[in-house]
Structure 1
Amino acid sequence: MNSTDYPSIADDWERRATIRTRPRRWLENDDKLIYPLSRQPLVLSATFLEHCAHWRDFVLVQSFYKFINDVVIFETEIVDKTARSIAKNRFSLPFPLACRVDAMTVVVDEDYHALVALDFLQQTVAMTGIQPLDLPGQIELSHALPAAQAQVPAHLRDAVELIGVAIAENTVTQDVAAFSKDSSVKASVRGLMADHLFDEGRHAQFWTRLVRLYWQSASAADRDSIAQVLPTFLAHYLTNDLQKNFDLHLIDHLDISHSLRNALRDEVAALAFPIHRQHPLLGNIMGFLQHSGLLQTPSVALALKDYLPVPGRPI
Structure 2
Amino acid sequence: MKAEDYLSFVDAWEGRATIRTRPRRIVENDEKLIYPLSRQPLVLSETFTRECAHLRDLALVQSLYKFINDVVIFETEIVDKTARSIAKDNFAIRFPFACRYDAMTVVVDEDYHALVAMDFMQQTIALTGVQPISLPEEIELSRAIPAALALAPDHLRSAVELICVAIAENTVTNDVAAFAKDDTVKQSVKGLMADHLLDEGRHSGFWSRLVRIYWHAAPQQDKEVIAQILPVFIAQYLTNDIQKSFDFVLIDSLPVAEPIKQALREETQAMCFPINRHHPLVGNIMRFFTASSMLDSPCVQHALADYLPAGGLQ
Could you report, residue by residue, the CA deviation over 1:258-300 in whole angstroms, capped at 9, with x for unpaired residues?
1111100000001131011011111111111011111111111
How far has the Cα of 1:91 moved from its partner? 0.5
SS at match of 1:184: coil
Q: Which amino acid aligns with 2:26?
A: W
SS at match of 1:150: helix
What is the CA–CA distance in structure 2 between the aligned matches of 1:236 and 1:313, rounded to whole Å?
24
SS at match of 2:273: coil
Unaligned runs of at least 5 residues, structure 2? none
Contact 1:3 1:98 in 2 (8 A): no
The question of 1:214 aligning with 2:214 is answered yes
SS at match of 2:310: coil
Q: Which amino acid aligns with 2:54?
A: H
* Structure-2 residue corresponding to 1:148: 148
* Structure-1 residue corresponding to 2:96: 96
* Structure-1 residue corresponding to 2:190: 190
The question of 1:127 aligning with 2:127 is answered yes
The question of 1:115 aligning with 2:96 is answered no
1:13-28 equivalence runs, <5 A: 13-28=13-28
TM-score (norm 2): 0.98
How far has the Cα of 1:5 moved from its partner? 2.2
Unaligned runs of at least 5 residues, structure 1? none
What is the CA–CA distance in structure 2 between the aligned matches of 1:207 and 1:47, rounded to whole Å?
43
CA root-mean-square deviation = 1.1
TM-score (norm 1): 0.98
How far has the Cα of 1:312 moved from its partner? 6.8
What is the CA–CA distance in structure 2 between the aligned matches of 1:307 and 1:27, rounded to whole Å?
39
SS at match of 1:25: coil
Q: Which amino acid aligns with 1:10?
A: V
What is the CA–CA distance in structure 1 between the aligned matches of 2:122 and 2:272, rounded to whole Å?
34
Contact 1:19 1:112 in 2 (8 A): yes
Q: Which amino acid aligns with 1:244?
A: K
SS at match of 2:250: helix
Percent of aligned positions with the same letter in both sequences?
A: 67
The question of 1:172 aligning with 2:135 is answered no
How far has the Cα of 1:243 moved from its partner? 0.7
* Structure-2 residue corresponding to 1:83: 83
* Structure-2 residue corresponding to 1:302: 302
May I ask how many residue pairs the two structures share in their alignment?
Answer: 314
What is the CA–CA distance in structure 2 between the aligned matches of 1:292 and 1:174, rounded to whole Å?
16
What is the CA–CA distance in structure 2 between the aligned matches of 1:2 and 1:192, rounded to whole Å?
35
Runs of 4+ in 1 over 4 A off after TM superposition: none
How far has the Cα of 1:72 moved from its partner? 0.3
How far has the Cα of 1:2 moved from its partner? 4.4
Compared with structure 1, are the counterparts of its residues 312 and 86 closer, same or farther at alpha carbon in structure 2 (3 Å cutoff)?
closer
How far has the Cα of 1:161 moved from its partner? 0.7
Q: Which moved more, 1:287-296 or 1:194-203?
A: 287-296
Contact 1:5 1:213 in 2 (8 A): no
The question of 1:41 aligning with 2:41 is answered yes
How far has the Cα of 1:221 moved from its partner? 1.0
* Structure-2 residue corresponding to 1:311: 311
What is the CA–CA distance in structure 2 between the aligned matches of 1:101 and 1:229, rounded to whole Å?
29
Could you report, residue by residue, the CA deviation over 1:150-197 in whole angstroms, capped at 9, with x for unpaired residues?
011011111111000000110101111111111110000000000000
The question of 1:240 aligning with 2:240 is answered yes
What is the CA–CA distance in structure 2 between the aligned matches of 1:190 and 1:161, rounded to whole Å?
31
Q: Which amino acid aligns with 1:309?
A: P
Q: Which amino acid aligns with 1:189?
A: V
Q: Which amino acid aligns with 1:159?
A: A
